[in-house]
């Protein structure tokens, strides 16, 4: 009988997924962070800085920090550990910073916030202090546990991490109390959730040669200088820049653009972006196959991949300059599909007012 029950449970787990009974979430891998704030004589632990008074955590919010106004930026936690030191190279001793993540819960439930910090930390859930540990220590994952009562839907988790000297880090995840954590997920909320629509209008030129994969490194004419009026030497003769409009999904289909050359080829895309001010953000792209991207004549991304095109697969930090920005993309093709798609995601600063266009 016991054996039969086990088989049934295993079947349910395999079929339903909802029966998985997750014991813990992954470690938070993306945070919004803001700092530095002062922590001279360890006064930062009890000082109430702007983020602790914030009620809605919106992009474009700035606070009084050490040496002036400070704003939110996105930071990745490699292997689950958020390292503050490289974020604030000028101020990484006797300082404090805040990390934010939104917890989205499928229903109200209680769990534990399981965290490690270097040095001390305070945690706030939906504005309420839920944990306080003024430790002077190295960051060990899961060294502290604090009970969280999550409400259904959005929950704002804010963690202050104070720093004396040397390392400065945070690692956090949720672990189970009574209810399993299935369906609980992390987002960047209003601080990092904004993305532009997919780009749907480009100029395109091609095809160029990619026999034997030579095209990824070959410097064809558009890489030397973009001149939309000038023809270039392509495969089978002169090729010209032409407008290209995608469907609503933003997927560039090069095979439709170049019906005479479906394999072993290279094409370039060009567009302009206008930004109302300097905007740090992330470029999200998918490509089939390899891709190189130049922003304002500087190579910002190169991935000699052989893959199908998946939206947002490559995530590249870039900074748009105020005014016009020029974006040149090279996409290589060996065989099979030949596609590309592109959009941009916020990393703190709002993307309001960022527009795509084509040069006059």
Smallest distance from the beta carbon of 197 to Ca ion, in angstroms? 25
Determine, following the binding rule CB under 5 A, whether residue 13 of this chain makes contact with Ca ion. no
Could you say which residues in the range 293-332 bind Ca ion, by CB under 5 A? none
> What track of x and - describes contact with Ca ion for positions 165 through 184 (by CB under 5 A)?
-xx-----------------
Q: What is the dihedral of CA 83, 88, 90, 96, to 10 degrees?
A: -90
> Could you say whether residue 118 binds Ca ion (CB under 5 A)?
yes
Rounded to an integer, what distance in angstroms lies between the CA atom of residue 93 and that of residue 151? 36
Q: Kindly report the number of other CB atoms within 10 A of residue 305's CB atom.
A: 17
Stretch that binds Ca ion, among 97-105, 119-127, 140-148, 246-254 (CB under 5 A): 119-127
Count residues contacting Ca ion (CB under 5 A)? Answer: 7
Cβ-based nearer residue to Ca ion, 156 or 339: 339
Peptide bond preceding 105 in cis form (omega within 30 of 0): no
- Cβ distance to Ca ion smaller for residue 174 or 342: 342
Residue nearest to Ca ion (CB): 336
Label residues 335-349 b or e (16+ Cβ within 10 Å = b).
eeebbbbbbbbbbbb
User: Among 84-92, 95-103, 113-121, 263-271, which window interacts with Ca ion (CB under 5 A)?
Assistant: 113-121
Q: Report the distance separating Cα 242 and Cα 255, nearest Å.
A: 15
> Does residue 112 belong to the site contacting Ca ion (CB under 5 A)?
no
Strand, helix or coil for residue 77: coil
- The interface region with Ca ion, picked from 78-86, 104-112, 162-170, 171-179 by CB under 5 A, is 162-170
54 lines the binding site for Ca ion (CB under 5 A): no
Hey, is 42 helix, strand or coil? helix
Candidate list 289, 292, 294, 350; residue touching Ca ion; CB under 5 A: 289
Query: Contact, 24 vs 114, CB < 8 A?
Result: yes
Q: Coil, strand or helix: which one is 212?
A: helix
Distance of closest approach, residue 91 Cβ to Ca ion, in angstroms: 13
Binding site for Ca ion (CB under 5 A): 118-119, 166-167, 288-289, 336
């Amino acid at each position: 009988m016991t054996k039969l029950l086990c088989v049934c449970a295993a079947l349910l787990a395999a079929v339903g997924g909802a029966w998985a009974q997750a014991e813990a979430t992954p470690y938070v891998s993306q945070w919004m962070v803001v700092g530095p704030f002062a922590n001279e004589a360890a006064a930062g632990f009890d000082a109430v800085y702007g983020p602790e008074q914030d009620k809605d955590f919106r992009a474009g919010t700035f606070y009084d920090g050490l040496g002036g106004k400070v704003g939110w930026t996105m930071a990745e936690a490699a292997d689950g550990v958020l390292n503050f030191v490289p974020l604030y190279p000028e101020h990484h001793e006797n300082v404090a910073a805040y990390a934010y993540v939104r917890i989205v819960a499928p229903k109200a439930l209680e769990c534990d916030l399981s965290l490690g910090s270097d040095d001390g930390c305070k945690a706030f859930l939906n504005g309420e202090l839920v944990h306080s540990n003024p430790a002077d220590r190295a960051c060990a994952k899961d060294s502290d546990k604090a009970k969280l009562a999550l409400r259904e839907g959005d929950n704002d988790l804010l963690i202050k991490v104070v720093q004396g000297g040397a390392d400065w880090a945070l690692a956090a995840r949720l672990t189970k109390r009574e209810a399993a954590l299935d369906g609980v997920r992390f987002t960047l909320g209003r601080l990092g959730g904004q993305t532009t629509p997919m780009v749907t209008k480009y100029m395109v030129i091609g095809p160029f040669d990619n026999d034997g994969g030579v095209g990824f490194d070959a410097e064809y004419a558009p890489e030397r200088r973009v001149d939309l009026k000038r023809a270039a030497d392509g495969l089978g003769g002169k090729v010209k820049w032409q407008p290209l409009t995608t469907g609503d999904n933003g997927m560039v289909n090069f095979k439709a653009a170049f019906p005479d050359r479906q394999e072993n080829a290279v094409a370039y895309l060009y567009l302009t972006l206008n930004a109302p001010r300097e905007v740090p953000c992330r470029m999200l792209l998918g490509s089939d196959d390899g891709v190189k991207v130049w922003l304002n004549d500087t190579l910002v991304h190169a991935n000699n991949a052989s893959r199908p095109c998946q939206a947002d697969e490559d995530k590249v930090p870039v900074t748009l300059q105020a005014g016009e920005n020029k974006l040149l993309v090279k996409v290589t093709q060996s065989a099979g599909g030949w596609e590309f798609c592109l959009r941009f995601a916020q990393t703190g600063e709002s993307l309001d007012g960022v527009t795509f266009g084509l040069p006059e």
